[in-house]
A and B are shown apart, each in its own frame.
Chain A
Amino acid sequence: MNPLADIVRAAKEAGNFAVLVEAIPYLRFLGVTVESIGGELVGKMTYSPPLVGNASLPALHGGAIGALLESTAILQTLWETETLALPKIVTITVDFLRSGRTVDTFAKGTITKQGRRVVNVGVEAWQEDRARPIARANAIFLVQLPEE
């Protein structure tokens, strides 16, 4: 049995992904957690100094923002589809729109197309003002849906 599948199933049944996020070392390292805001799944990356990419500005590292976008897209896919394994990323295209300030960053994914093998997800990141996103991405994942 796949222990991760058990964690995913329990997380979905409880409507709480905290245990899953806690099981992924890189998300702990980045300080990524997940919150349910108004019924939406929102990824949150709590600001910490190791996320900085430019110390003189200062500004967040594009790689940290990219990781938040990718992680949020993965969580949205787990949330909305039947897959019980972690989706495998095939490609991601990130547009950096504004420099990331040294504050908490949020992200929300939206599935644009779900097939049996492939899921396309759009995801946007913002800080204080959701209407002024700092980055957005399109990501494509391979998923394993249960046999019918």
Chain B
Amino acid sequence: MLVLGPELEAQIAEAVATFVPHNQALGMRFVSCREGEAIIALPYDPKLVGNPLTRVIHGGAITALMDATCGTAVFVKLRAPIPVATLDLRIDYLKPATPDKEVHARALCFKVTEKVAFVRCEAYHPDTASDLVAVANGTFIIFRGRALAGRGKAR
């Protein structure tokens, strides 16, 4: 098993930015990670708008950001590029995201078993980090014994 070394952060960043076309298409940017936690940014972009009257981004864009950040937190927790797939994700939308502002998601993988990882995630604007936009809870299946580039399902 390949265990990620000191270059962990750079490898995670590369995986998020280049290995996942949908994250790239949405404009996601890796911010940081440490000890089972990952932060990813989603800059405001008119193409993400879900309501043209309010210019608020679509809930689906927040879903994609939180799914990606939760998955990244699992990689960080495992300290190895083991493929994982989302089993379920519950998202509560606490308030609309503010137009023109970047959204950050911070996910914590707080428990892993042999087969399942449990993650919680918060989305917020970095300048008002305590006033949350959304919270999520997710579970992920871990495909141990498979290489990331192999037959696993990483979302």
Contact = CB atoms under 8 A, between A and B. Distances in A.
A144 interface: no
Given A61-B155, A66-B89, A70-B59, A55 B21 contact: yes
A99 B88 CA distance: 12
Interface string B17-30: 00111111110000
How many chain B residues sit at the interface, stated as a range, is 35 or more
A51 interface: yes
B14 interface: no
What's the dominant secondary structure at chain B's contact region?
Answer: mixed
Contacts, number: 153
How many chain A residues sit at the interface, stated as a range, is 35 or more
Interface stretch (B1-9, B44-52, B110-118, B121-129): B44-52
Interface string A1-41: 01110000000000000000001111111100000000000
A67 B61 contact: yes
A131 interface: no
B31 interface: no
B87 interface: yes
B48 A91 contact: no
A54 to B, nearest CB: 5
Nearest to B150: A56
B90 A91 contact: yes
A24 B52 contact: yes
Interface of B: 19-26, 46-53, 57-61, 63-68, 83, 85-93, 96, 148-155
Given A29-B47, A49-B21, A63-B66, 17 more contacts: A24-B51, A25-B52, A29-B25, A52-B21, A54-B155, A56-B19, A56-B148, A57-B152, A62-B155, A63-B63, A63-B64, A63-B67, A66-B60, A71-B60, A88-B93, A89-B59, A93-B88
